[in-house]
Structure 1
Amino acid sequence: MKNKICNRIIVILTFFIFNGIYSQNSSFDIIGNWMAEDYWGSKSMMAFSEDSYLSLTIDGEMVDGENFIIKGGVNDKKKGGLKYEINFEITPIELYVIPSIGEEVKDKILFGYLKFIDDNNILLKVSLDKNEKTEFEEEGEQIMTLRKIK
């Protein structure tokens, strides 16, 4: 009798633990506007849209992920775009960006790793190298803190 009760408790606890882990990763709502602060205390805006566009500020200039004009370089004055994709299936969670120039969609690029703290706070480890360490605990790391703007 004791074994049956213990086994049922273990099964129930296992269900809740895995259900909690799954729901944390798959149901987090990243859609919206975020204030990002980097390792040096510089602040910028990031916006994740429902249709997977990523808008952000770079050096104080807003880059509209859906529709911006490239300034300078070989693609000067061409229309650019920036989409995002999140891989919730692995840990740490991967954030990819998918740039486009005109109608040409480029290959997705690993932008970094996400660690969800709560509904309003995310840590983003910017990393363009998939072979780089993915831990968030190292001292001196260049990690961005994203805070949801309400």
Structure 2
Amino acid sequence: MKKILLLFLILTSVSYAQTKKEMLVGNWLGTDASGAKNTMIFTSDNFISMTVNGELIDGKNYIVKGGKNNGQKGLLKYEIDESKTPIALDIIAYALEKGKQIEKGRFLAILDFKSNDEIKINLSLNGVRATEFNESNAASTILLKRN
């Protein structure tokens, strides 16, 4: 009996040892407040691909269209801070210059796992990270489901 209890405790602790970053990896789909379909793909090597204005931006191989950086290759990566509540999520834009990644900007977000297959994200476009999910930031919040 003791062996069975010990085995149960070990298996239970291993199943809860998965980090939020590991849970985040995958393909996520949702609809934003304006009714637009959105995709976010988080990879284990910290790249993110996402839908912006109906176009899927490949985080590993993004080519800038228009503006002073037209045709330049860029990258989109993400970082999360699990020690924060809600979880802090940064989406970081990089330019590739002479083979080096040069940070060009960050989108600040908060993230909440509703379950293993459902997350809520609030993405700030004004450079100020929200501290909670509420009515005042509902328009910039999206519920995503694992695809």
Name the counterpart of 2:134.
137
Match of residue 60, structure 1, among 54, 60, 70: 54
Task: Give 1:59 deviation, angstroms.
Answer: 2.2
**1:53-92 correspondence runs (5 A):** 53-92=47-86
Match of residue 44, structure 2, among 50, 72, 81: 50
**1:1-150 correspondence runs (5 A):** 26=20, 29-102=23-96, 103-106=100-103, 109-128=106-125, 131=128, 133-138=130-135, 141-142=138-139, 143-149=141-147
Indicate if the aligned counterparts of 1:94 and 1:110 stay in contact, CA closer than 8 A. Answer: no
**Aligned partners of 2:62, 2:146: CA distance in 1, in Å?**
23
**Aligned partners of 1:140, 1:47: CA distance in 2, in Å?**
23
Task: Give 1:124 deviation, angstroms.
Answer: 0.6
**AA partner of residue 103 (structure 2):** K
| Number of residue equivalences | 129
Gaps of 5+ in 1: 1-18
Task: Give 1:32 deviation, angstroms.
Answer: 0.7
What TM-score, normalized by structure 2, do the two folds share?
0.75
Instruction: Calculate percent identity across the aligned residue pairs.
Output: 35
Indicate if the aligned counterparts of 2:109 and 2:130 stay in contact, CA closer than 8 A. Answer: no
Q: Secondary structure at the match of 1:141?
A: helix
Task: Give 1:24 deviation, angstroms.
Answer: 8.2
Moved more, 120-129 or 23-32: 23-32
**Aligned partners of 1:59, 1:110: CA distance in 2, in Å?**
16
Moved more, 136-145 or 31-40: 136-145
Gaps of 5+ in 2: 1-12
* 1:24-60 Cα distance to aligned partner (Å, 9 max, x none): 8646611111103211221121100110000012222
Indicate if the aligned counterparts of 1:38 and 1:145 stay in contact, CA closer than 8 A. Answer: yes
Distance 1:27 1:42, change over 3 A: closer
| Aligned Cα root-mean-square deviation (Å) | 2.5
**Aligned partners of 1:113, 1:80: CA distance in 2, in Å?**
23
* 1:93-150 Cα distance to aligned partner (Å, 9 max, x none): 111012111133216624210011001111111124565542213266221111100x
